Chains A and B, each alone.
Chain A
Amino acid sequence: AQTVTQSQPEMSVQEAETVTLSCTYDTSESDYYLFWYKQPPSRQMILVIRQEAYKQQNATENRFSVNFQKAAKSFSLKISDSQLGDAAMYFCAYEGGSNYKLTFGKGTLLTVNP
């Protein structure tokens, strides 16, 4: 079974600084997708970024970028120029196989200090 591990239960960053959230996963599949979702206090899950495993190029979305290391099964999220609105729980998620199920990590609670 696939597993997703987020080893940092909590992280904090100063406003305008950069922070990296870690995620590792375990799978025997070669084709899969990886995601980072953000869950603010409203509890609405918001897609931050996605990465297709067959793509070597790391995905970027404005201030958000990933460092995808397929061989190491690592998928970290970098948030640049952190803003107060980035404060939230961040979940790393894996999707593989034909059933399209998402497997979530336990989450990292990010605090942004002014």
Chain B
Amino acid sequence: GAVVSQHPSWVICKSGTSVKIECRSLDFQATTMFWYRQFPKQSLMLMATSNEGSKATYEQGVEKDKFLINHASLTLSTLTVTSAHPEDSSFYICSARLAGVFRADTQYFGPGTRLTVL
């Protein structure tokens, strides 16, 4: 149990276009989801916290107009990278917080999405 999926697993896009990444909790409901960014050989950097039905909370230094987050249901959160540029190329990982079932108070991670902006 506690499976989180991400789609797509990798994407290549042209500079100036927008890319949407989906994060789904497959067998549980997640009131809170998180979006991370990871550069090669580095740790995970939290970008934003996404709560179902409310606006996302962004970490300091993360542009909310560039990284649009929508958490429309208890099983789906989306991250849209708007007007992508090569410096946005990175590995994006989502996680969903599982509470009350299975093992409480634990974040489970999606497999990640590799974004390359040309």
Query: Could you tell me which A residues sit within 8 Å of B by CB distance?
Result: 33, 35, 37, 42-47, 50, 91, 95, 99-102, 104-107
Partner of B34, one of A37, A43, A91, A102: A102
Q: With contacts A50-B106, A91-B44 known, is A42 near B111, CB below 8 A?
A: yes
Which range contains the number of B residues in contact with the other chain?
20 to 34
Residues of chain B with a CB closer than 8 A to A33's CB: 105-106
- Asked whether, in the complex, the Cβ of B49 is within 8 Å of the Cβ of A101, the reply is yes
Q: With contacts A50-B106, A99-B49 known, is A105 near B43, CB below 8 A?
A: yes
- Asked whether, in the complex, the Cβ of A43 is within 8 Å of the Cβ of B108, the reply is no
Q: Which residue of B lies closest to A52 (CB)?
A: B105
The stretch of B11-19, B20-28, B74-82, B89-97 in contact with A is: B89-97
Partner of B42, one of A44, A47, A50, A106: A106
Q: Which of B43, B46, B91, B112 has the most CB of A within 10 A?
A: B43
Main secondary structure of the interface of B (DSSP, over half): strand
Partner of B97, one of A42, A50, A100, A107: A100
Q: Which of A45, A101, A102 has the most CB of B within 10 A?
A: A45
Q: How far is the CA of A46 from the CA of B93 in the complex (A)?
A: 12
- Asked whether, in the complex, the Cβ of A101 is within 8 Å of the Cβ of B46, the reply is yes
User: What 4 A-B pairs have minimum CB-CB distances, sorted nearest first?
Assistant: A45-B109, A104-B43, A44-B111, A106-B43
Residues of chain B with a CB closer than 8 A to A37's CB: 109
Q: How far is the CA of A100 from the CA of B98 in the complex (A)?
A: 11
Partner of B109, one of A44, A95, A99: A44
Partner of B95, one of A42, A45, A91: A45
Q: Which residue of A lies closest to B45 (CB)?
A: A104
How many Å from the CB of A96 to the closest CB on chain B? 11
Partner of A95, one of B38, B105, B111: B105
Known: A45-B95, A104-B43. 15 other contacts (CB 8 A): A33-B105, A33-B106, A43-B93, A43-B111, A44-B112, A45-B109, A47-B108, A91-B43, A91-B44, A95-B107, A99-B57, A100-B32, A100-B49, A100-B107, A101-B34
